[in-house]
């Protein structure tokens, strides 16, 4: 019997349709694939270690405080701030309600009532709230004395006729 050096194809490779493939090339290809997978595994291990270090630093902190304590403290601070915010909202609502009835609009007109005094010592003062409710006060100065009159204003209008200076003071207070 004589021995021949012709390679015989493996039955498995023949069944897979790779009967003519040299088995050396197959081993080289598999070795390259394994080498690439090992490199990828090393890269992933390095990334995982870096992430673990960051997580440990985050959880433990600089002074060894636990993350749980920090979260509880933040929760308590948040609860405190919510309480303060609600109180502030309530106080602001009360202030707005009180502001509706306070005098916010002012109009003043000085004039010489009788053109004889040599100065504008008489005046009209209009004081109104947000809803243009309030009064007009007219102080007339003469040689005999000083006389003061008031007229009620509702929704920017008066039931009694207003004088020229009173209308002007009311107009100034209403921003017209």
Which residue has better confidence, 8 or 53? 53
Position 142 scores a pLDDT of: 80
Task: Indicate whether 81 pLDDT > 90.
Answer: yes
Give CA–CA dist 45/51, Å, rounded: 10
**Residue 166 DSSP SS3:** helix
pTM across the whole model: 0.52
User: Cβ contacts of residue 166 below 8 Å, gap of 6+?
Assistant: 124, 126, 136, 138, 151
Percent of the residues in the chain that have a pLDDT greater than 90, as a whole number: 52
pLDDT digits (tens, 9 = 90+) for 89-136: 999 999 988 888 889 999 999 988 877 656 788 999 999 998 899 999
- pLDDT confidence tier of residue 153, bands split at 50, 70 and 90: very high
Mean residue pLDDT across the chain? 86
Q: Please identify which residue in the block is written with the tokens 């081993």.
A: 27
Position 90 scores a pLDDT of: 95
Average the pLDDT over 50-58 and give the result.
Answer: 85
Cα–Cα distances (Å) from 106 to 8, 35, 126, 146, 151, in that order, read 113, 89, 6, 22, 15
Position 65 scores a pLDDT of: 60
Give CA–CA dist 93/125, Å, rounded: 30
Percent of the residues in the chain that have a pLDDT greater than 70, as a whole number: 89
Give CA–CA dist 4/40, Å, rounded: 43
Task: Indicate whether 46 pLDDT > 90.
Answer: yes
């Amino acid at each position: 019997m004589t021995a021949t050096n012709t390679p015989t194809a493996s039955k498995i490779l023949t069944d897979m349709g790779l009967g003519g493939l040299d088995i050396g090339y197959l081993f080289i290809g598999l070795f390259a694939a394994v080498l690439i997978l090992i490199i990828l595994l090393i890269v992933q291990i390095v990334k995982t270690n870096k992430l673990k270090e960051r997580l440990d630093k985050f959880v433990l902190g600089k002074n060894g405080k636990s993350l749980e304590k920090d979260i509880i403290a933040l929760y308590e601070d948040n609860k405190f701030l919510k309480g303060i915010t609600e109180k502030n909202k309530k106080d602001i609502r009360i202030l707005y309600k009180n502001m509706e009835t306070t005098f916010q609009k002012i109009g003043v007109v000085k004039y010489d009532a009788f053109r004889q005094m040599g100065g504008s010592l008489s005046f009209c003062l209009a004081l109104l709230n947000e809803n243009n409710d309030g009064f007009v006060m007219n102080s007339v100065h003469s040689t005999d004395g000083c006389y003061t009159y008031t007229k009620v204003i509702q929704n920017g209008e008066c039931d009694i006729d207003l004088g020229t200076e009173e209308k002007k003071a009311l107009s100034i207070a209403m921003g017209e």
